[in-house]
């Protein structure tokens, strides 16, 4: 069912029409040994160059890693690389997929930021060791695609949500849709503080999403509301300062989120989710939090 949906009038399916997709049971994380802020490529990094507390960063990362293990997920901790301080945000270098027969494919990213381009080959090695078919975009045509930072799977469904505007270009979703033979609903991002889709959109289960509405266009919001019966909205402070929407819900029930999102936590509990708070304070300075510090794999 390959197609790219850009507006409500093109939406010709409902959730029940989509192929099922298994829930990933593996989590890849990248050790924060070389994590630091050496340059500014998003508004959150401004004023933070050289400002990472390495010990705090290590502790925050270890705590999060342990929580995935406690949830029963298999965690693969990959070594970092000197000179790539953002590699710890391993949602960005790839987009993995599994089809109905269990065949695994991955599309490797073409990082928008020059400073991060070298991360992709390092992450590719992980896929080479786990029997994924590796697909590269034609870099003469597509210059921007930042993996699961912008392309997010619907929970348990072969449907991709694709953000574009800052780190990923719109055109790339035609190729992704054809490669995986899945529909892609694309959403334009309009506020540079929410430069990746995972900063303002978090799929919690089949029917529930958490979003920060001002990061989207009217058309985008209409598409989100058309497919998710339950849309939980983040407030400005928690979305912007605490990255509330950069949370993760690996099993459709337990939500891992930056600590202090009081309003969101109340809404999540009210909707039946179990909330687990983590400090990702060192990573917030770089414009990332829980969601982008990992990659879910099959
Ligand atoms: N400093 C990193 C960058 O700007 C942060 C990436 C966070 N990743 C994410 N998917 N939101 O590229």
Q: Is 34 in the pocket of ligand 1 (CB under 6 A)?
A: no
CA distance 82 to 105: 28
From 89, 146, 168, mutation site for ligand 1 pocket: most ligand atoms within 8 A of C-beta: 89
For position 123, what pLDDT does the model report? Answer: 98
Cα(205) to centroid of ligand 1, in Å? 24
Question: Atom of ligand 1 at shortest distance to CA of 111?
Answer: 12
Question: Atom of ligand 1 at shortest distance to CA of 41?
Answer: 4
For position 103, what pLDDT does the model report? Answer: 96
Contact 131, 159 (CB under 8 A): no
Q: What is the dihedral of CA 278, 93, 186, 16, to 10 degrees?
A: -70
For position 1, what pLDDT does the model report? Answer: 84
Residue 185 DSSP SS3: strand
Q: Is 288 in the pocket of ligand 1 (CB under 6 A)?
A: yes
Nearest to 36 by CA among 24, 21, 51: 51
Question: Atom of ligand 1 at shortest distance to CA of 199?
Answer: 11
Question: Radius of gyration (Cα) for the chain, nearest Å?
Answer: 17
The domain made up of 3-297 has a fold known as 3.75.10
Cα(19) to centroid of ligand 1, in Å? 30
Q: Is 165 in the pocket of ligand 1 (CB under 6 A)?
A: no
Q: Is 42 in the pocket of ligand 1 (CB under 6 A)?
A: yes
Question: Atom of ligand 1 at shortest distance to CA of 45?
Answer: 1
Cα(79) to centroid of ligand 1, in Å? 18
CA distance 208 to 230: 5
How does pLDDT run along the chain (298 residues), one tens digit per residue?
899 999 999 999 999 999 999 999 999 999 999 999 999 999 999 999 999 999 999 999 999 999 999 999 999 999 999 999 999 999 999 999 999 999 999 999 999 999 999 999 999 999 999 999 999 999 999 989 999 999 999 999 999 999 999 999 999 999 999 999 999 999 999 999 999 999 999 999 999 999 999 999 999 999 999 999 999 999 999 999 999 999 999 999 999 999 999 999 999 999 999 999 999 999 999 999 999 999 999 9
> Which letter does DSSP use for residue 20 in this model?
B
Give the residue ranges of DSSP H helices in the chain.
54-70, 119-128, 172-180, 218-227, 236-241, 262-270, 281-284
Cα(54) to centroid of ligand 1, in Å? 18
């Amino acid at each position: 069912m390959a197609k790219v949906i850009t507006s409500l009038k093109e939406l010709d399916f409902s959730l029940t029409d989509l192929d099922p997709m298994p829930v990933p049971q593996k989590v890849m994380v990248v050790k924060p040994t070389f994590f630091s802020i050496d340059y500014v490529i998003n508004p959150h990094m401004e004023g933070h160059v050289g400002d990472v507390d390495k010990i705090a960063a290590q502790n925050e990362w270890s705590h999060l890693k342990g929580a995935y293990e406690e949830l029963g997920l298999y965690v693969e901790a990959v070594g970092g690389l000197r000179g790539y301080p953002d590699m710890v945000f391993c949602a960005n270098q790839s987009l993995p997929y599994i089809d109905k027969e269990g065949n695994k494919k991955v599309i490797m990213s073409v990082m928008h930021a020059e400073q991060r381009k070298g991360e992709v080959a390092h992450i590719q090695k992980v896929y080479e060791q786990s029997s994924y078919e590796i697909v590269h975009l034609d870099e003469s045509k597509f210059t921007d695609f930042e993996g699961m930072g912008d392309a997010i799977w619907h929970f348990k469904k072969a449907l991709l949500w694709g953000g574009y505007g800052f780190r990923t270009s719109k055109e790339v979703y035609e190729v992704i849709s054809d490669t995986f033979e899945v529909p892609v609903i694309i959403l334009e991002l309009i506020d540079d503080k929410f430069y990746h889709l995972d900063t303002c959109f978090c799929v919690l289960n089949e029917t529930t999403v958490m979003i920060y509405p001002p990061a989207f266009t009217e058309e985008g919001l209409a598409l989100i509301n058309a497919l998710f019966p339950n849309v939980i909205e983040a407030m400005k402070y928690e979305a912007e300062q605490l990255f509330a929407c950069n949370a993760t819900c690996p099993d459709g029930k337990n939500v891992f989120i930056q600590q202090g999102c009081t309003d969101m936590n109340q809404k999540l509990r009210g909707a039946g989710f179990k909330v687990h708070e983590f400090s990702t304070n060192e990573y917030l300075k770089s414009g990332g939090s829980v969601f982008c510090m990992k990659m879910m794999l099959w």
